[in-house]
Amino acid sequence: MFHFNYFLSLELSSPYLKGGGFFTTHEVMVMKSHEDGVRSFAIDEFPSMDEDAIEQFWIKMVESHRVEREATFKRILDEERTIHQSSKSSESQQTLTAEKAALARESTRELRRRLADPRIADAEKHLVRAVLDERWKKLEGLESSGTAGSNANPRAAKVDL
Protein backbone atom coordinates (compact mmCIF):
# COMPACT_ATOMS: atom_id res chain seq x y z
CA MET A 1 0.00 0.00 0.00
CA PHE A 2 1.41 3.34 -1.10
CA HIS A 3 -1.20 5.59 0.50
CA PHE A 4 -3.37 5.99 3.52
CA ASN A 5 -6.87 5.87 2.07
CA TYR A 6 -9.87 7.68 3.51
CA PHE A 7 -13.37 7.10 2.14
CA LEU A 8 -15.81 9.98 2.61
CA SER A 9 -19.37 10.82 1.77
CA LEU A 10 -19.17 14.45 0.79
CA GLU A 11 -22.20 16.70 0.60
CA LEU A 12 -21.64 19.78 -1.57
CA SER A 13 -23.74 22.89 -1.52
CA SER A 14 -23.91 25.55 -4.23
CA PRO A 15 -26.55 27.75 -5.85
CA TYR A 16 -24.89 26.87 -9.19
CA LEU A 17 -25.70 23.18 -9.20
CA LYS A 18 -27.57 21.95 -12.26
CA GLY A 19 -31.26 21.26 -11.83
CA GLY A 20 -31.81 23.92 -9.21
CA GLY A 21 -30.83 21.69 -6.29
CA PHE A 22 -28.60 23.20 -3.66
CA PHE A 23 -27.08 19.95 -2.31
CA THR A 24 -25.46 16.88 -3.88
CA THR A 25 -23.81 13.89 -2.21
CA HIS A 26 -20.65 12.25 -3.61
CA GLU A 27 -18.41 9.37 -2.61
CA VAL A 28 -14.81 10.58 -2.45
CA MET A 29 -11.55 8.78 -1.73
CA VAL A 30 -8.73 10.88 -0.22
CA MET A 31 -5.25 9.41 -0.49
CA LYS A 32 -2.24 10.50 1.58
CA SER A 33 1.19 9.40 0.35
CA HIS A 34 3.42 7.46 2.77
CA GLU A 35 6.53 9.11 1.27
CA ASP A 36 5.85 12.85 1.23
CA GLY A 37 2.45 13.30 2.85
CA VAL A 38 0.89 14.76 -0.30
CA ARG A 39 -2.86 14.32 -0.50
CA SER A 40 -4.91 13.68 -3.61
CA PHE A 41 -8.50 12.72 -4.15
CA ALA A 42 -10.65 10.66 -6.45
CA ILE A 43 -14.33 11.17 -7.13
CA ASP A 44 -16.55 8.92 -9.24
CA GLU A 45 -18.94 11.59 -10.44
CA PHE A 46 -18.33 15.33 -10.36
CA PRO A 47 -21.28 17.55 -9.50
CA SER A 48 -23.14 18.86 -12.52
CA MET A 49 -23.04 22.62 -12.64
CA ASP A 50 -25.32 25.04 -14.45
CA GLU A 51 -23.63 26.11 -17.73
CA ASP A 52 -24.56 29.78 -17.22
CA ALA A 53 -23.05 29.69 -13.72
CA ILE A 54 -19.79 28.30 -15.10
CA GLU A 55 -19.70 31.01 -17.76
CA GLN A 56 -20.39 33.74 -15.18
CA PHE A 57 -17.62 32.35 -12.98
CA TRP A 58 -15.13 32.48 -15.86
CA ILE A 59 -16.19 36.00 -16.85
CA LYS A 60 -15.68 37.21 -13.26
CA MET A 61 -12.33 35.44 -13.02
CA VAL A 62 -11.08 36.89 -16.32
CA GLU A 63 -12.26 40.39 -15.32
CA SER A 64 -10.56 40.06 -11.94
CA HIS A 65 -7.30 39.02 -13.59
CA ARG A 66 -7.59 41.90 -16.07
CA VAL A 67 -8.02 44.44 -13.26
CA GLU A 68 -5.09 42.94 -11.36
CA ARG A 69 -2.91 42.91 -14.50
CA GLU A 70 -3.73 46.56 -15.29
CA ALA A 71 -2.93 47.58 -11.71
CA THR A 72 0.40 45.76 -11.93
CA PHE A 73 1.29 47.40 -15.25
CA LYS A 74 0.30 50.81 -13.85
CA ARG A 75 2.51 50.25 -10.82
CA ILE A 76 5.43 49.22 -13.05
CA LEU A 77 4.96 52.27 -15.29
CA ASP A 78 4.72 54.58 -12.25
CA GLU A 79 7.94 53.12 -10.84
CA GLU A 80 9.68 53.55 -14.19
CA ARG A 81 8.46 57.16 -14.49
CA THR A 82 9.75 57.88 -10.98
CA ILE A 83 13.13 56.34 -11.80
CA HIS A 84 13.27 58.18 -15.14
CA GLN A 85 12.30 61.50 -13.52
CA SER A 86 14.88 61.18 -10.74
CA SER A 87 17.51 60.25 -13.32
CA LYS A 88 16.42 63.14 -15.51
CA SER A 89 16.41 65.46 -12.48
CA SER A 90 19.91 64.32 -11.54
CA GLU A 91 21.16 64.88 -15.10
CA SER A 92 19.42 68.25 -15.16
CA GLN A 93 21.00 69.20 -11.82
CA GLN A 94 24.46 68.23 -13.13
CA THR A 95 23.88 70.32 -16.26
CA LEU A 96 22.78 73.32 -14.19
CA THR A 97 25.80 72.96 -11.91
CA ALA A 98 28.13 72.85 -14.93
CA GLU A 99 26.42 75.89 -16.49
CA LYS A 100 26.64 77.79 -13.21
CA ALA A 101 30.34 76.94 -12.90
CA ALA A 102 30.94 78.23 -16.42
CA LEU A 103 29.09 81.47 -15.61
CA ALA A 104 31.09 81.86 -12.38
CA ARG A 105 34.28 82.07 -14.47
CA GLU A 106 32.91 85.08 -16.36
CA SER A 107 33.47 88.66 -15.22
CA THR A 108 30.76 90.58 -13.39
CA ARG A 109 30.56 92.99 -16.33
CA GLU A 110 29.93 90.10 -18.75
CA LEU A 111 27.26 88.63 -16.44
CA ARG A 112 25.47 92.00 -16.20
CA ARG A 113 25.58 92.24 -20.01
CA ARG A 114 23.98 88.78 -20.28
CA LEU A 115 21.29 89.79 -17.81
CA ALA A 116 20.42 92.85 -19.93
CA ASP A 117 20.15 90.80 -23.13
CA PRO A 118 16.41 90.30 -23.95
CA ARG A 119 17.17 87.07 -25.86
CA ILE A 120 18.49 85.26 -22.79
CA ALA A 121 16.31 82.39 -21.49
CA ASP A 122 14.71 82.66 -18.05
CA ALA A 123 16.67 79.66 -16.78
CA GLU A 124 19.97 81.30 -17.75
CA LYS A 125 18.87 84.59 -16.15
CA HIS A 126 18.19 82.68 -12.96
CA LEU A 127 21.69 81.17 -13.02
CA VAL A 128 23.32 84.54 -13.76
CA ARG A 129 21.43 86.12 -10.85
CA ALA A 130 22.52 83.27 -8.57
CA VAL A 131 26.20 83.80 -9.52
CA LEU A 132 25.89 87.57 -9.03
CA ASP A 133 24.14 87.06 -5.67
CA GLU A 134 26.95 84.76 -4.51
CA ARG A 135 29.51 87.39 -5.51
CA TRP A 136 27.53 90.10 -3.71
CA LYS A 137 27.40 88.02 -0.51
CA LYS A 138 31.14 87.40 -0.77
CA LEU A 139 31.79 91.13 -1.07
CA GLU A 140 29.49 91.88 1.88
CA GLY A 141 31.37 89.29 3.95
CA LEU A 142 34.69 90.86 3.08
CA GLU A 143 33.41 94.34 3.95
CA SER A 144 32.05 93.21 7.30
CA SER A 145 35.33 91.52 8.19
CA GLY A 146 37.21 94.76 7.39
CA THR A 147 39.18 93.29 4.50
CA ALA A 148 37.49 95.43 1.87
CA GLY A 149 36.39 98.43 3.96
CA SER A 150 36.26 102.02 2.72
CA ASN A 151 39.66 102.85 4.25
CA ALA A 152 41.34 99.73 2.88
CA ASN A 153 43.51 99.86 -0.18
CA PRO A 154 41.45 98.23 -2.98
CA ARG A 155 44.63 96.76 -4.49
CA ALA A 156 45.75 95.27 -1.20
CA ALA A 157 43.09 92.60 -1.06
CA LYS A 158 42.57 90.52 -4.16
CA VAL A 159 38.96 89.43 -4.37
CA ASP A 160 37.62 87.10 -7.08
CA LEU A 161 34.40 88.69 -8.12
Task: Specify the length of the chain in residues.
Answer: 161
For residue 136, give the nearest of 118, 161, 154, 117 by alpha carbon: 161
pLDDT for 160: 53
C-beta of residue 81 within 8 angstroms of C-beta of residue 89? no
pLDDT for 67: 94
Residues 56-85: what's their mean pLDDT?
A: 87
For residue 103, give the nearest of 91, 89, 113 by alpha carbon: 113
pLDDT for 78: 82
Give the Cα separation of 146 and 156 in Å (integer). 12
The pTM assigned to this predicted structure is 0.36
What is the residue extent of each domain of the chain? 1-49, 50-93, 106-143
Give the Cα separation of 52 and 60 in Å (integer). 12
Residue 153 confidence (pLDDT) above 60: no
pLDDT for 87: 57
Quickly list H helices, the chain: 51-104, 108-116, 122-145
Residue 92 confidence (pLDDT) above 60: yes
What is the rounded end-to-end Cα distance, in angstroms, of the chain? 95
3-13 β-sheet, strand order:
3-13, 23-33, 39-43
